[in-house]
Amino acid sequence: MKKEEKQRFETKAVHAGYDSERHFGSLTPPIYQTSTFTFSSLEQGAKRFAGEEKGYIYSRLSNPTVSILEERIARLEGGEAALAFASGMAAVSAALIGITKMNDHILCSKGVYGCTFGLLQMLKEKYNIDHHFHNMISAEGILSNIRENTTCIFIETPINPTMRVIDLELVTTVAKKKGIKVVVDNTFSTPYLQKPLQMGSDLVIHSATKYIGGHGDVIGGIIVGNGDTIRYLQKTTQKDIGGVISPFDAWLLLRGIKTIAVRMDRHCKNAGKLAEQLKNHPKIKAVYYPGDQDHPDYEIMKRQMKKGGGLLSFEIDGTYEDTVNVVNQLNLIQIAVSLGDAETLIQHPASMTHAVVPKEVRKEMGISNQLLRLSAGLEAPEDIWEDLEQALDSLR
Ligand code: LCS
């Protein structure tokens, strides 16, 4: 085992994938802001294209700053290799298009991010790649929802925005028996809280826009998996569809990821406190936080996550208009989609992130008009609560 492999998560987050000696001693990774790379001769260029000589060719194929990011995240997730993309959706689409073919079927967790829902609709309409949603709470249930043409199980856990948690070991055990690939969108958990590859999943996806970047200043995506699958995706849906990340954005993610462990500890602590306080407020009908002992999936969360995460959802005990009034009454908490930033953010899934999901399907997934999703930021928890409390109190 290489010395670095033994390093702890926090150390890898700062150092993995980067050797300053190979970059003039620069403490932080340089930004290789170049579209292309020169060859010393035609023969050298030909060898690089043929894969007979290692080296860079063109930044849509790979770039040194991006490679450092990919190696670092692969190491944090415990995967062999990774690919970085221009957005989380570029990563989701590259993975799903890459591992399925026409007439296949995808079994999905009962709830996914709105644009993933949109992508699944498009795959169905254009390529007859069918899908359906299932709660995945028992082996029998999963088995009975697998079809002859099911080639992929796609899971978000915790699910955006309902915060239900899927038992990854249960799903991967069933999938392995059937030879089906399991793809996990690990955006909400981050590799600090949960490592799906170690629980038997085949691919992990991130919207790196969120906790990996952590500062609300970049859009990016990542896929992590075994070397063969990653090389295949690199040569197909990454190279030829081309949703690559820029060197500067990769650098921003490298800067953000260094502090992921300390940030996540604080996000989780703040979210946990807010969940408790919300549960005791008379204007709150329900709170959905996986770290809450009353959460229906608390035991699963304890088995597979280090902590409950930085996100929670809750329902206002009132009408849609009451929900609007609470949100509009907030001062410190910002009304915005996205999550995982230093700023506490609140959004209304039914009219924002999940507006593309038809109303009946939203209802089935548990997304009501009174549901709000909150991404706990890094502010003092007392300040976040005071803002939320004054907004809720305005309803009395
Ligand atoms: N997967 C999950 C679980 C997400 O929450 C998002 C974005 C994506 C993938 C797509 O990543 P992107 O292309 O935006 O980097 N989720 C958002 C959300 O909940 N609010 O705004 C974006």
State the pLDDT confidence band at 170, using cuts at 50, 70 and 90: very high
Statement: residue 153 has pLDDT above 90: yes
Output the pLDDT for position 281.
97
Cβ neighbours, 10 Å, residue 29 = 22
Spatial CA neighbour of 121 closest among 146, 144, 98, 96:
96
187: number of Cβ within 10 Å: 28
Q: Please report the pLDDT score of residue 5 as a whole number.
A: 72
Q: Residue 39 Cα, ligand 1 centroid: separation in angstroms?
A: 39
Residue 76 near residue 261 (C-beta atoms within 8 A): no
Question: Residue 37 in contact with residue 58, Cβ under 8 Å?
Answer: yes
Number of Cβ within a 10 Å radius of residue 396:
6
Which of 96, 115, 156, 337 for a ligand 1 pocket mutation test, highest count of atoms within 8 Å of Cβ?
115
For residue 75, the one-letter residue type is R
**Could you report the per-residue pLDDT of 94-144, keeping only the tens digit for each?**
999 999 999 999 999 999 999 999 999 999 999 999 999 999 999 999 999
Q: Please check the confidence at residue 285 and state whether its pLDDT lies above 60.
A: yes
pLDDT for position 259: 98
Give me the pLDDT at residue 199, please: 97
pLDDT tens-digit map of 217-228: 999 999 999 999
| Spacing, Cα 346 to ligand 1 middle (Å) | 14
pLDDT band at 168 (very low <50, low <70, confident <90, very high): very high
Q: Render pLDDT for 317-330 as a digit per residue (tens, 0 to 9).
A: 999 999 999 999 99
For range 24-41, the mean pLDDT: 98
- Which ligand 1 atom is at minimum distance from the Cα of 90? 13
Percent of the chain with pLDDT over 70: 99
Could you give the strand order of the β-sheet that contains 345-347, starting from the edge strand earlier in sequence?
284-288, 311-316, 371-375, 345-347, 334-335
Residue 3 is predicted with a pLDDT of: 65
Does 65 have pLDDT greater than 60? yes
For the chain, domains (ranges, CATH) are: 10-257 (3.40.640.10), 260-393 (3.90.1150.10)
Q: What is the pLDDT of residue 166?
A: 98
Residue of 263, 109, 131, 115 whose CA lies nearest to 201: 109
Residue 9: both structure tokens together: 């998560």
User: Which among 92, 162, 207 is the best mutation to test ligand 1's pocket, defined by most ligand atoms within 8 Å of the CB?
Assistant: 207
Which protein residues touch ligand 1 with a CB less than 6 Å away? 87-89, 92, 113, 115, 156, 160, 185, 187, 207, 209, 219, 221, 337-339, 353
pLDDT in tens, 353-392: 999 999 999 999 999 999 999 999 999 999 999 999 999 9
Q: 85, 113, 246, 375: which to mutate for ligand 1, most atoms within 8 A of CB?
A: 113
Closest C-alpha residue for ligand 1 atom 11 = 88
126 class by beta-carbon count within 10 Å (0-12 exposed, 13-18 middle, 19+ buried): exposed
The residues near 46 (Cβ < 8 Å, ≥ 6 apart) are none
Two structure tokens written together for 180: 């089906």
Which of these, 301, 328, 334, lies nearest to 316 by C-alpha position? 328
List C-alpha distances in Å: 386 to 198, 277, 330, 393: 40, 10, 10, 10
Q: How far is the CA of 247 from the centre of ligand 1 (A)?
A: 21
Average pLDDT, the chain: 97
Distance, in Å, from the CA atom of 106 to the CA atom of 96, rounded to the nearest integer, reads 9
Do 133 and 365 contact (CB within 8 A), yes or no?
Answer: yes
The pick from 156, 160, 204, 211 for probing ligand 1's pocket by mutation, whose C-beta has the most ligand atoms within 8 angstroms, reads: 160
Q: What pLDDT does residue 6 have?
A: 85
Which is nearest to 60 in space by CA: 225, 249, 212, 235? 235
Q: The pTM is what?
A: 0.97
Q: 3-state DSSP call for residue 222?
A: strand
pLDDT at 396: 78
Helix axes 320-328, 381-393, angle to 10 degrees: 130
Distance, in Å, from the CA atom of 257 to the CA atom of 14, rounded to the nearest integer, reads 7
Residues 6+ apart with CB under 8 A from 271: 289, 291, 308, 309, 310, 311, 312, 374, 376
- Ligand 1 atom closest to the Cα of residue 209 is 15
Instruction: State the distance from the centre of ligand 1 to the C-alpha of 27, rounded, in angstroms.
Output: 31
Can you tell me the distance from the alpha carbon of 185 to that of 203, in angstroms, rounded to the nearest whole number?
9
pLDDT value, residue 2: 61
CA distance 244 to 253: 14
If you compute the radius of gyration of the chain from its CA atoms, what whole number of angstroms results? Answer: 21
Rounded CA gap, 323 and 21, in Å? 55
From CA 169, how far away is CA 182, in angstroms rounded? 11
CB 211 within 8 A of CB 340: yes
Considering only CA atoms, which residue is closest to atom 21 of ligand 1?
338
**113 CA to middle of ligand 1, Å?**
6
| 4 DSSP assignment | G
209 CA from centroid of ligand 1 (Å): 8
Transcribe 297-331 into DSSP letters. Answer: THHHHHHH-SS--SEEEEEESS-HHHHHHHHHT-S
